[in-house]
Amino acid sequence: MSFSLETRDLTIRFGGHVAVDAVSCAFRPGTLTAIVGPNGAGKTTYFNLISGQLKASSGRVFVGGDDITSLPAPERTKRGLGRAFQLTNLFPNLSVMENIRLAIQARRGMGLNLWSIWSNHRALIAEAEAILERIALTARRDAPAASLPHGDQRKLEVGILIALEPTVFMFDEPTAGMSVDEVPVILDLIREIKRDMTKTILLVEHKMDVVRELSDRIIVLHNGKLAADGEPAEVIASPVVQQAYLGMAAEDEEEAEAAR
């Protein structure tokens, strides 16, 4: 099976600091890969290099086998890379419905061609309504995006991503800042996307319970380098993850033991 996304020796330097250091990794359709690592490990920077927000110092990015390294971010979106930004994809003054509808129009390349929009109006509305159902925002369809609570804005952002129909979904801490009862809705949406075996999902996530439950594979970044890559159980048990995530807890245990 071919890879939907691949990075080869992907590297970026900020002055003397190598934030992402020769990361080579390939991702298959029908898989969800969690990217974990301590703060400052280079996870978001790796995403920025893939989606085109940052230009690599060296190395290459391939989507569907095509070298897209020199393409700007909007061109990469057209090639099937879809990234949920922390709410920056939303049009704040437009309604929930209009936000979804615009994303569908953008995907279909309808732009501002009024005849095309008019003739496809019913199909567009039906598709947007189906997405509103999926993200559980039908009741808020006419509310301006900016008026929604944080959790609903995050759901809308996932809805926009679904409307764009990317082949690669990139989520950077999708549940950050959400209340306990809002988290399952986002996780359900990710699970639903995952059921489509043509899609590839990359997930940066600090919550290890979420990672354990959703991922087929975990890669660990440490000081910008690929430090581990494999099955979730095996990677979670690896020394690098134990140290990065459980090191503090182990030290606390030792201190408690010593004090007894």
Q: Which residues bind ligand ATP (CB under 6 A)?
A: 14, 19, 37, 39-45
- Contact predicate 229/35, CB 8 Å: no
Q: Provide the minimum distance between the beta carbon of 173 and ligand ATP in the complex, in angstroms, as a whole number.
A: 8
The distance of closest approach from Cβ of residue 37 to ligand ATP in the complex, given in angstroms and rounded to an integer, is 5
User: Which residue, 37 or 52, has its beta carbon nearer to ligand ATP?
Assistant: 37
Strands 225-230 and 217-222: antiparallel
Shortest Cβ 185–ligand ATP spacing (Å): 23
The minimum distance between CB 41 and ligand ATP, in angstroms, equals 4
Backbone angles phi, psi at 28, to 5 degrees: -100, 155
Beta carbon nearer to ligand ATP, 48 or 77: 48
SS3 content of the chain, % helix, strand, coil (to 5): 45, 25, 30
Could you tell me which of 107, 95, 202, 179 has the C-alpha nearest to residue 139?
95
| Residue found by looking up tokens 């990065």 in the block | 244
Nearer to ligand ATP, 88 or 198 (CB): 88
Indicate the residue among 10 and 96 with the shorter CB distance to ligand ATP: 10
When the beta carbons of 152 and 157 are compared against ligand ATP, the nearer one is: 157
In the complex, minimum distance from the CB of residue 222 to ligand ATP, in angstroms, rounded to a whole number: 9
Q: What's the CA gap between 131 and 221, in Å, rounded? A: 34
